[in-house]
Structure 1
Amino acid sequence: MSIQSLKTYLPENTSGYLKNWFSNYYIHIKITRGRSSKLGDYRKLPDNSHEITINSTLAPPLFFFVLTHELAHLIAFEKYGRRISPHGNEWKITFGRMLLESLEVYDDDLKPIIVKFSKSPKANFMASPALVRYFHVETQEDNLQFIERLQKGDLFIFRNEKYLLEGLIKKNYLCKNLDTGRQYSFKPLARVEKCS
């Protein structure tokens, strides 16, 4: 897939960065259906070309962010060698530099989040609550919300099971499964359906 054919998925003014980052490599880019397990991935193919897959369902700024993440893998491996850790210091330095280099692509309210994130990039998008909050758009159709928006005593459904929010333990929420009586810890950005 060419940079030109990616334009429908990307914010404006990204082609210069991509041409610069892609220039020395032969890369297969596959646009996939939405996957809940990952937003994108990178791997080197047996013919020494590279493959990046990215979910088609991502908003353009998030699509560019994920593409930058995956390209950082390629560039770090090519620069430092294949023995580096996939999300180690070499990747963090590469990804952080690329994010700052392309900062103008992002909206003004997202730029401070990107700058802060670039100082120590996380391997998993979900490990950055500020990014998750920024890119998550709740819709009427899914009725899901972050558990951190609920109050103590609220009932909610998670994976077809009903829970009671009992309170906060450090940064997580202690919740009781009403069918089994067992208690579980939920991260603040778990998406749940509040019971009315």
Structure 2
Amino acid sequence: MDKVKVLEKYLPADAAPLIGRWIDYFKCEFKISRNRNSKFGDYRAPFDGKGHRISVNYDLNPYAFLVTTVHEFAHLHTWNEHKHRVKPHGAEWKSNFKKMMQPFFEKDIFPADVKRAITSYLNNPAASSCSDLNLYRSLCQYDAPKEDVHTVEKLPMHTIFKLKDGRVFRKEEKLRKRYKCVEISTRRVYLFSPVAEVEVVEQG
């Protein structure tokens, strides 16, 4: 199947042809990956006979998929220019990320709220789009509804919740940007991102 047709299943349709051209131009192996809780996407530099490799999680909504894809291609472009001589998310990467995002602004790909959040993020892009809570929340507005899934920030104080791995916690007070939560079985304290997705445990 034509790569643009495949990309249209995951990206806004008007964005797919340019991403397809980038894959060809940079001679990049582009993989649509399973869900990874720790990251949305990944870039691997050429190594041991393999060329550039990018992977992006399959279950992102189209706008989150596009932001993540551009993020990873900016890594590739920066590596071509500087190899390992610069920081992964240093000034060179930030400059490339801004430039590579521009065509999608010109095509008016993004809804107004997402575009505003990306513009703010681009003033000083961080290591990950999900580490910028404003951008992350804007992108999440376009996720398909998930049953029984809540974010920590929206839970009432002292709510009992669990993670996918089965561990159970109680929400406590907010400490600066994160929430203090106590693991029920060990009494250990953990700090949770406000937008961490969890499942509420019904109290009998």
Cα-Cα RMSD: 2.4
Q: Structure 1: which amino acid aligns with 2:32? A: I
Aligned residues of 2:28 and 2:54 also touching (Cα < 8 A)? yes
Structure 1 residues 38-47 or 58-67, which shifts more?
A: 38-47
How many angstroms apart in 1 are the aligned matches of 2:83 and 2:187? 51
Alignment of 1:40-119 (within 5 A): 40-45=41-46, 46-47=48-49, 49-103=51-105, 104-119=108-123
Matches of 2:185 and 2:18, distance apart in 1: 52
5+ unaligned residues in a row in structure 2: which ranges?
none
> Deviations along 1:88-116, whole A, 9 cap, x unmatched?
21001111222233222112221101111
Query: 1:114 corresponds to which letter in structure 2?
Result: I
Q: TM-score, structure 1 length as denominator? A: 0.84
Q: Which runs of 5+ in 1 are unaligned?
A: none
Work out which of the residue numbers 150, 157, 160 in structure 2 matches 1:155.
160
Shift of 1:127: 0.6
Tell me, what secondary structure is at the counterpart of 1:192?
strand
Does structure 2 conserve the Cα–Cα contact (< 8 Å) formed by 1:97 and 1:118?
no
How far apart in 1 are the matches of 2:29 and 2:133? 31
Displacement after TM superposition at 1:20 (Å): 6.2
- Given the superposition, is the C-alpha separation of residues 131 and 177 from structure 1 closer, same or farther in structure 2, using an over 3 Å criterion? same
Counting only pairs closer than 5 Å after superposition, residues 131-170 of structure 1 correspond to structure 2 as 131-136=135-140, 137=143, 138-140=145-147, 143-158=148-163, 159-170=165-176
Q: Normalising by structure 2, report the TM-score.
A: 0.81
Counterpart CA distance in 1 for 2:39 and 2:169 is 26
Corresponding position of 2:178: 172
Q: 1:82 to 1:171 in 2, by over 3 A?
A: closer
**In 2, distance between residues paired with 1:89 and 1:110?**
23
Per the alignment, residue 11 of structure 1 pairs with 12
In structure 1, distance between residues paired with 2:20 and 2:187: 56
Inter-partner Cα distance in structure 2 for 1:44 and 1:177: 38
Residue 181 of structure 1 and its aligned partner are, at CA, apart by 2.8
- The 3 A distance-change label for structure 1 pair 83 and 148 is same
User: Aligned pairs, how many?
Assistant: 194
How many percent identity over aligned positions? 29
